[in-house]
Structure 1
Amino acid sequence: MKKLLTAISLVMLVLFAVSCAGKVTPETPAESPAAETPEETPVETPAETPEVEPKTLTIDELYPFTANVERIYEGEGNEFAALTEYVDFLEGNRIQIRRSNGGTEIVYVLEKTADQLVEVFQQAETYYKENFLKKDAASPKIWLKAPIAVGTTWSSVAGETSTITALDKELNLPYGSVKAVEVTTVSPQGTTKTYFAKDLGLVKILTTGEGYEVSSSLKEINPNQPRVKVVNFYYPNAKDEKIFLYRKNITFQTNDIPRNLLVAAYKELPAEAVGVLTANTKVNSLYLNNDGMVYVDLSQDFLTEMNLGSGFEALVLQSLANTFGDYYGRDKVILTIDGKTYESGHIILDKFEPLQVNYDSIVDMN
């Protein structure tokens, strides 16, 4: 019986072992990314495009400085509204503009910085060319002020207030269609709107008041254009005690020194006349002084080379006074020789004694 139980136990152990051997435990697969469902797939959001603010115009863009440029404006509402502008002088951040309206010529000096365009000097009734770039006015006037944005406001002249009122005002000018910055200036006399366009500068002036409207609108811009001025030159007549008048066209470029051009033209001697400035005479200085008199300083060669009698010397001095006095629109001329009072073998002038402009006995040769 004992042997039988032992045999049964062995059989059961064998069966258990076989049963365990047949049971297969499934392998755990290596981790792999879980399959993404459509809901789990990230949706690519396009990057937001930042809003680009329009570029702010600069004062330099709105009023460029350029030499030898003539600008012509068509006028309406007034016989003096038509304008012609020319650049007399240009240096660094200052420019001297000559504006003619058919009745007068006005010279003004503008200074330009990154912050503003300012009229630092103005002088009316200025028919002669002289460099005023270093002059300053007691009350500078602001033409344009940064930032170039609607609402920018300033006041530089008593009783006037200026405001930028538009940045892209559509204008139909004789020159063509442009977009311009509008500056509105209000004063007790009325309202003036000035318009500046990129790369063109001042393109229109519109002034309104009770019962009137006057405008000057850009018509032409002529680059590399010299200014031609008619200048009167006076010479003694070689045969009698008359003085001949010859008109000559003088061509002025921007930054030309007027003295040099006048001297060169004066030395071109007409056949019938006696020379005033001798071959080697130098004009050391020539200017209109604050006392309203013209000052001209000549080199000693004027005396040593003249070699004339007293009568013709007097005619020479009168011709010289008429020529330079006429150019500046004045009737008194102070003449010196190398900084000293004028003294020749025939004529002696006291210190600050002027030569008087006199148009008697003039023979017009034109």
Structure 2
Amino acid sequence: MKKILIVMFAFLMILTSCTVNGGPAKNPPDTDSSGTKEEPTPTVKAYDVYDLFPEVLNKHMVYNGEGNEFAEHETYVDFVRGNVVQIRDINPGTTMAKVYEIGDGIVRLVFSQGESYEVKDYTASRNKDEVILKEPIAVGTEWTVNDGATRKITAVDMDVTVPAGSYKCVEITTDNKDSIDKSYYAPGIGLVKTEFTSKEGNYLVTSELEKIE
């Protein structure tokens, strides 16, 4: 009996020793050379033109306006043919039919016609070639539009508040001969705000997204 007790006692001592001295070591938190805990690097979201120009059939957007009687307007997506989208843009003065082509990291305005009061399919028509958006979606991306104006991305994830809500936007700035135009695109939404500022007299016209239907 004594031998059994001695053997059991010895076995328990071995187990205790293994738990204290031989158990798995916990990994200490990552530190740099100064002993400071390393923080994870935040991931930056990379946008593409499809994020900023997510047009779907029958999408209806309403914009209020200030500074000009034509600043208020509303848009309808009338046709989507593959990578080509036709939008009807209605303001108090006229109705525009606009056709955009999306591909190769670029959004182009390829057709525009005023006085388009009847809904017709212009998706195969071409009378323009103006780059509206261009990848990479990063500050500094720059291109020239047909009239010689310079267009560039001047901000990413910029906070913009309009009647429809608050959004993180990409700011596109166009430096024209007589004006500075700014357009703000929210990922997953599209165009939420435009600003036109004349270089003489600081004449300002704005359009802001009021609602999406």
TM range (shorter): 0.7 to 0.9
The CA deviation at 1:111 is 0.8
CA drift at 1:60: 0.6
Report the alpha carbon displacement of residue 115 of structure 1 after superposing the two structures with TM: 0.7
- Give CA-to-partner distance per residue, 1:242-271, whole Å, 9 cap, x none: xxxxxxxxxxxxxxxxxxxxxxxxxxxxxx
> After the TM superposition, which residues 28-107 of structure 1 pair with which residues of structure 2 at under 5 Å, given as runs?
46=30, 51-107=41-97
* CA distance in 2: counterparts of 1:153 and 1:164, whole angstroms: 7
CA contact (8 A) 1:62 1:198 kept: yes
1:158 deviation in Å?
Answer: 2.1
**Residue 9 of structure 2 aligns with which residue?**
none
What is aligned with 2:129?
Answer: 140
* Structure whose residues are more often strand by fraction: 2
Aligned partner of residue 70 in structure 2, secondary structure: coil
2:55–2:77: 8 Å Cα contact kept in structure 1? no
| 2:205 corresponds to | 214
Q: Is the 8 A contact 1:60 1:114 kept in 2?
A: no
How many pairs align? Answer: 179
> Whose RCO is larger (CA < 8 A, sep 6+)?
2
Residue identity matched to 1:85? T
Aligned equivalents of 1:172 and 1:149: distance in 2? 21
- Measured against aligned partners, the alpha-carbon deviations of 1:13-49 in whole angstroms (never above 9, x if no partner) come to xxxxxxxxxxxxxxxxxxxxxxxxxxxxxx9673877
What amino acid does structure 1 have at the position aligned with 2:138?
A: A
Is the CA contact 1:61–1:198 (under 8 Å) kept in the aligned structure 2?
Answer: yes
In structure 2, the gaps of 5 or more residues are 1-26, 32-37
What is the distance in 1 between the residues matched to 2:193 and 2:178? 19
For residues 103 and 80 of structure 1, the distance between their equivalents in structure 2, rounded to whole angstroms, comes to 6
Judged with a 3 Å threshold, the aligned counterparts in structure 2 of structure 1 residues 161 and 46 are, in CA distance, closer, same or farther, namely same
Residue 99 of structure 2 is aligned with which of 106, 109, 114? 109
Q: TM-score, normalised by structure 1?
A: 0.47
- Note the alpha carbon deviations across 1:61-100, whole angstroms, 9 max, x for none: 1110211121100000001100110112111101100101
CA distance in 2: counterparts of 1:136 and 1:123, whole angstroms: 10
Which structure 2 residues correspond to residues 319-358 of structure 1 after superposition, within 5 A? none
SS at match of 1:89: strand
Letter in 1 for 2:30: P
Cα distance between partner residues in 1 of 2:29 and 2:78: 61
Say if 2:113 is the partner of 1:123.
Answer: yes
CA distance, structure 2, for counterparts of residue 179 and residue 60 of structure 1: 16
* Identity of matched residues, %: 40
SS in 2 for 1:135: coil
- When Rg is computed on C-alpha atoms for both structures, the one with the higher figure is 1
Q: TM-score, normalised by structure 2?
A: 0.79
Q: Answer whether contact 2:150 2:176 (CA < 8 A) is retained.
A: yes
3-state SS of 1:204 partner: strand
Superposed structure 1 runs of 4+ greater than 6 Å apart: 47-50
Residues 1-366 of structure 1 mapped to structure 2, 5 A cutoff: 46=30, 51-137=41-127, 139-209=128-198, 210-211=200-201, 212-222=203-213
What SS is found at the alignment partner of 2:51? helix
CA contact (8 A) 2:102 2:108 kept: yes
- CA root-mean-square deviation: 1.7
